[in-house]
Structure 1
Amino acid sequence: MPNYLAPDVYVEEVPGGPRPIEAVGTSTAAFIGAAPDGNALAQSIRAVTNWSEFQRMYAAQGQAGTDLSQAVYGFFQNGGQRCYVVNTGAARDLPAALTMVAQRDDVAIVAAPGFTDAADYDALLSHCEALGDRVAILDAAHDVPDVMALTQVARPAPAARAGADAPDRASPGDLHGLRPRQSDDGYGAVYFPWLRVRDPANPSSLVDVPPSGHMAGIWARTDATRGVHKAPANEAVRGALDLTYHLTRAEQEQLNSHGVNCVRFFSTEGVRVWGARTVADSASEFRYLNVRRLFNMIKESIAQSTRWIVFEPNDETLWKSIRRDVSAFLLRLWRDGALMGRTPQEAFFVKCDRETNPPEVINAGQVVTLIGVAPVKPAEFIVFRLSQMEQRSDTDGRGE
């Protein structure tokens, strides 16, 4: 407290009012792979904000495109604004690249275009599961000998016999299945098939590219136009002229139930994303991609905007402030359509009081807040029930 010694008027600035919780960004991606110039900024991570910048940094000599460059081009083409790039060169050292990506807190989407074996899937999913603030976009294998193999989890090829040279990487033909392993909390989404696009390095030719870059751009575009709570599906894939495989409805029924998001070609609408599931179990509360990403955003937003709480007196005043700030944040999400419910009371609750903070919790230096939210879920199956009805007269059976 200041000391007042002389008679006078003293004006002081004091903190007052709520400390608003701001929503964190959800559309910054990280791409890992071999750049056209394998030596350009190799084994380092750099931020890129447009395609021209990527070309200057990673393809200044006009080299042929790679899965990485095609993915970055598709990302910006479909609405992406900012991404990180890790050029692995010829090493393809995914674990080392993911270590660098882990140091960037603003990353919300992770992809390694064209990395499609069991070890790659596991590395990407484990990275996102450990950090809990990002989701992996996984590419299905390019040449799938049997579409139904995508319903079976990929396993590494058997180890080579003693004295034989062990393969560096498992190939799709060496796997019993082609689907990524399950992520219980939905930290990954897989897409099939690959896209056929014009090569940005040679527009006169068509090339097959992994879908992850284009999908990341669509996630970013949907976040900007509708919000992270909107499932990034039923969206046009800009730049995609065709697909490497045209799925039938019966095939998608099988793949969808196993968490494989299909990209479909429709004669009147072109190429569209036609799935929004994660690789979680179909009974998981995080089986829908938008639910997983919404929870990531809520967690990160609250964590970053409430650091002022640390070392504050753990009493009723603090608890009231926490309830006020978190409730105001969730109220804005509800008004934006991110939460389900006719009223805020139906959409969320925030509890921070003596019940959640008994003496033993306070003595342990903790303040515990219980938050519950009801996320909106996509209308995945649209059902119209049509039946015949008896013909009725204008007088509805009444005499004139």
Structure 2
Amino acid sequence: MPYNKMPGIYLEEVSAAPRSISEVETAIPAFIGYTEKAQERDENDLFMRPLRIASLAEYEGLYGGPMPEAFDVSLLEVGGTITPTVRPARRLAANKYRMHYAMQMYFANGGGPCYIVSVGGYDDAITRGRGSGRRSVGLLGGLIMLEAVDAVTMIVFPDATALPEGDYYKLINRALTQCATLKDRMAILDVFAGDTAAFRDKISPLDADPLKYGAAYHPWLETSLQVAFAEQDVVVRAHSDEHGAEVASGSLRGACLSDAPIKKQNPALYQHIRDEVLKTVITLPPSSAIAGVYAAVDKSRGVWKAPANIELQSVRRPSIAISSAEGAALNVDVSGKSINAIRAFPGRGTRIWGARTLAGNDNEWRYIPVRRFFNMVQESVSKSTAWASFEPNNAATWDKLSSTIETYLTLKWRDGALQGSKPEQAFFVRVGLGKTMTQQDIQQGRMHVMIGLAMLRPAEYIILRLAYKMQVP
């Protein structure tokens, strides 16, 4: 209590509660792509504006639904029985504008809050674009907009595989570089056109460091999602008899599914055509479903649990079958660029069969949960200990800071995030003169903290360093 010059009673409020670490959210993906609309109040007011949402219903209210497909129908009439054959009238929009389907997969697999960046509508061509502040356009522009959103921990591009191959790799290399620069997020990537050899060859950021901030999955997924279509876009193009000639009377050629001659006067045919349309299989890149699994595992087990051996929901099967040997070759490659296999198992469904980053040759950062756990610890500790920058750079501050961090890491050790039978084997925290700083550091207002975490084996630490800029008297 300060010295007082007058007699009397003086009060001083002393905080008994120690400082603590508030943990940041770990599963907040950002989806960058093309949407039906981007409107909160005024038209296009959400264009190129990252917005946090919490549900598929909220997404649909702000960004709309999927692009409806169009179908051509051929009718074969034999003995009064009509059999329809249905085929897409054009290349499926689901092969290009995938954002809504991707959101369905994300939430079906356990996804929660996320950010959406709409970079255009269904009338716009899918482009890599450019990033230049307010003039940012395309998928790259959406990526640039995310730089200022600190809460994002994952980046997903549902529409990016519709780009030309060269543009795709330029985009994801930029995404990996952003992740490495900000050190608080990862990119979940899809293998372009299923070509794993080309993927490994062309994933080449400016240096190898960004590779530990990315994870890739293969193959694509045949989903059980229902195809979107409008009945007026399902049109009968031919109505022939068993000889291939146009039926003599009652031809339905030119009628659409919503017209009375089909919908009202022939309900059995109407339902048959609908059933054939709904057999259309929507095949999607896996990244959005994987992001949902990350969120679900983080919530149920923790960010340190590998998001692997998890059954994917709303999936019929992988687009191609991956054998055990093929899965091993994807996981471990001489290039070091690991690709996580997705495999189907009889009676067990379609499962994620790997949890490696693209830095497969890096003994410290080859595993996804290690990278994501360190991201969480770094963000949580640095944000919750910002108060230390305004304290004296002396032993009292060092002890207080060290104690705060050690208390947090002890809780993580008890949760099972760190290896070791006792805390000393699981982590260490060092700060102070002769430990992490010199006298010159102190005089120049620098405080350094070294944290060692044993995530893989006891007493084998991966080092995290934090630097604080202090006030200089």
Q: Which residue of 2 aligns with 1:42?
A: 47
More strand by share: 2
Distance 1:226 1:351, change over 3 A: same
Distance 1:155 1:292, change over 3 A: closer
Q: Which residue of 2 aligns with 1:70?
A: 101
CA RMSD of aligned residues (A): 2.5
Shift of 1:281: 3.7
Q: Which residue of 2 aligns with 1:119?
A: 170
Shift of 1:120: 2.1
Q: Deviations over 1:38-90 (max 9, x none)?
A: 78532222211100111111116975653221222211111111111111113
Distance 1:148 1:75, change over 3 A: closer
Say whether 1:189 aligns with 2:237.
no
Q: For 1:86 and 1:219, locate their aligned partners in 2 and report how far apart those are by CA, in whole Å.
A: 20
Q: How does 1:36-115 map to 2 (within 5 A)?
A: 36-37=36-37, 40=44, 41-59=46-64, 63=68, 66-89=97-120, 90=124, 92=127, 93-115=138-160
Q: Deviations over 1:238-267 (max 9, x none)?
A: 111112111111211211113000111111
Shift of 1:2: 5.8
CA contact (8 A) 2:216 2:339 kept: yes
Say whether 1:153 aligns with 2:201.
yes
Say whether 1:132 aligns with 2:177.
no
Q: For 1:284 and 1:333, locate their aligned partners in 2 and report how far apart those are by CA, in whole Å.
A: 22
Q: Secondary structure at the match of 1:133?
A: coil
Distance 1:52 1:180, change over 3 A: farther
* Worse-superposed segment, 243-252 or 183-192: 183-192
AA at the equivalent of 1:361: D
Shift of 1:313: 0.6
Q: Which residue of 2 aligns with 1:174?
A: none
Q: Which residue of 1 aligns with 2:427?
A: 348
Say whether 1:372 aligns with 2:452.
yes
Q: Deviations over 1:177-218 (max 9, x none)?
A: xx9995555100000111111335536542001111100000
| 443, 451, 459: which one aligns with 1:363 | 443
Distance 1:183 1:5, change over 3 A: closer
CA contact (8 A) 1:70 1:213 kept: no
Distance 1:182 1:191, change over 3 A: farther
Q: Secondary structure at the match of 1:110?
A: strand
AA at the equivalent of 2:185: R
Q: Deviations over 1:148-203 (max 9, x none)?
A: 625741279xxxxxxxxxxxxxxxxxxxxxx9995555100000111111335536
Q: How does 1:180-259 map to 2 (within 5 A)?
A: 183=209, 186-200=212-226, 202=228, 205-258=280-333, 259=338
Q: Deviations over 1:340-362 (max 9, x none)?
A: 11110000111112212321110
Q: Deviations over 1:77-133 (max 9, x none)?
A: 111111111111135322211121111111101111242431122021111111110
AA at the equivalent of 1:31: F
* Worse-superposed segment, 209-218 or 70-79: 70-79
Q: Which residue of 1 aligns with 2:418?
A: 339
Q: For 1:60 and 1:277, locate their aligned partners in 2 and report how far apart those are by CA, in whole Å.
A: 33
Structure 1 gap ranges (5+) = 157-178, 378-400
Larger radius of gyration: 2
Q: Which residue of 1 aligns with 2:269?
A: none
CA contact (8 A) 1:32 1:111 kept: yes
Moved over 6 A (4+): none
Give aligned-pair identity as a percent. Answer: 34
AA at the equivalent of 2:183: G
